[in-house]
Homo-oligomer: A and B are copies of this chain.
């Protein structure tokens, strides 16, 4: 299976290392032989028609260099050119998310589909901005489109609902979809410390961004909720349809009071017909959404199974490579390449 990696940041490098380390495993267990025939980012492209050798690939990924600095790379803005012209089965779009414009991922995915290449992405932006358009383009081009890694990191919730719970109607989705806010709320409860102090600590530990608004004001959760809603409820939802409140006003006293009453306070994204909302909610301890630390969790309400929840780590390059690899194996099984 011939792959083009678009984006060579944490996720692209993490996937590269995983593919190299799992070479034997993938061949033996799945009959899958992935060949990375191109790596490309906004600085340049490295193309190798025979597949970049594993050892070289790992060294490049560990170097942390932009593509233009890799030996043998062509410099320049040649992402679209590379996607179009290099012979490949699958394009892995792994550039950073922009939930307002969807770019540059949106353009990359369209170019890939128009060049009759299957697409796997971890990028929320294009899905938040143009879910229906991309879904339709994939169908009209006859290509597969997978995005397990875009929501919940390692948690394959979309495929869980679509494949394993396929006999059910999904009636409602509720999720703790942002690890940073869950970490902050958990630490506030453990330390009795105020929001600002815990946020600062999280930033120092690299658990929160310098500009934390995307996480703590609920936009990241809302973006994931939009993707889940489009994927599983067959509702054409956009970010502007979500009523959003973040966690800035939560106090350690409120968390303590809730805990004394057998509850946890979580930033919950919830969606059903006519309602999309992100807000801090009380969740009874002992319920699957009451997970602590940086865990994510999603609960699906279903007509037969009633409720199924799935929990795991929502971020991290290795964890996310689990979902990307799951999608790759699925394409391998579907396409036979």
Given contact pairs A160-B164, A326-B166, A310 touches B313 in the complex (Cβ within 8 A): no
Is the Cβ of B312 less than 8 Å from the Cβ of A308? yes
How close is A310's CB to chain B, nearest CB, in angstroms?
A: 5
What residues on B are CB-neighbors of A148 within 8 Å? 164
A30-41 CB mask vs B (1 if < 8 Å, else 0) is: 100000000000
Given contact pairs A160-B160, A286-B290, A290-B286, A167 touches B306 in the complex (Cβ within 8 A): no
Q: Is A318 an interface residue (CB 8 A)?
A: yes
Q: Is A113 an interface residue (CB 8 A)?
A: no
What residues on B are CB-neighbors of A292 within 8 Å? 284-287
Is the Cβ of B311 less than 8 Å from the Cβ of A308? yes
Q: Contact check: which of B156, B287, B306 meets A164 at CB < 8 Å? A: B156
Q: Is A319 an interface residue (CB 8 A)?
A: yes
Is the Cβ of B321 less than 8 Å from the Cβ of A304? yes
What residues on B are CB-neighbors of A154 within 8 Å? 304-306, 308
Interface residues of A in 302-332 (CB under 8 A from B): 302, 304-313, 318-319, 321-323, 325-326, 328-330
Q: Which of A154, A160, A164, A330 has the most CB of B within 10 A?
A: A164
What residues on B are CB-neighbors of A291 within 8 Å? 286-288
Instruction: Give bound CA distance, A322 to B301, whole Å.
Output: 12
Is the Cβ of A305 less than 8 Å from the Cβ of B313? yes
Is the Cβ of A325 less than 8 Å from the Cβ of B304? yes
A155-177 CB mask vs B (1 if < 8 Å, else 0) is: 11001100111111100000000
How close is A320's CB to chain B, nearest CB, in angstroms?
A: 9
Given contact pairs A288-B311, A292-B287, A302-B322, A164 touches B168 in the complex (Cβ within 8 A): no
Is the Cβ of B313 less than 8 Å from the Cβ of A307? yes
What residues on B are CB-neighbors of A287 within 8 Å? 291-292
Q: Is A22 an interface residue (CB 8 A)?
A: yes
Q: Contact check: which of B163, B308, B325, B329 meets A310 at CB < 8 Å? A: B308
Instruction: Give bound CA distance, A297 to B311, whole Å.
Output: 10
What residues on B are CB-neighbors of A310 within 8 Å? 160, 308-311
Given contact pairs A304-B325, A312-B306, A164 touches B169 in the complex (Cβ within 8 A): no
Is the Cβ of B288 less than 8 Å from the Cβ of A285? no
Is the Cβ of A165 less than 8 Å from the Cβ of B169? no
What residues on B are CB-neighbors of A76 within 8 Å? none
Q: Is A72 an interface residue (CB 8 A)?
A: no
Interface residues of A in 162-199 (CB under 8 A from B): 163-169, 186
Q: Contact check: which of B167, B284, B308, B326 meets A167 at CB < 8 Å? A: B326
How close is A129's CB to chain B, nearest CB, in angstroms?
A: 26
CB-CB nearest in chain B for A317: B304
**15 A-B pairs (CB sep. < 8 Å):** A22-B167, A25-B169, A159-B163, A160-B164, A165-B322, A165-B326, A166-B329, A167-B325, A264-B286, A285-B292, A288-B291, A305-B319, A305-B322, A306-B312, A307-B312
Enumerate chain A interface residues (CB-CB to B < 8 A): 18, 22, 25-26, 29-30, 148, 154-156, 159-160, 163-169, 186, 264, 284-288, 290-293, 295, 297, 302, 304-313, 318-319, 321-323, 325-326, 328-330
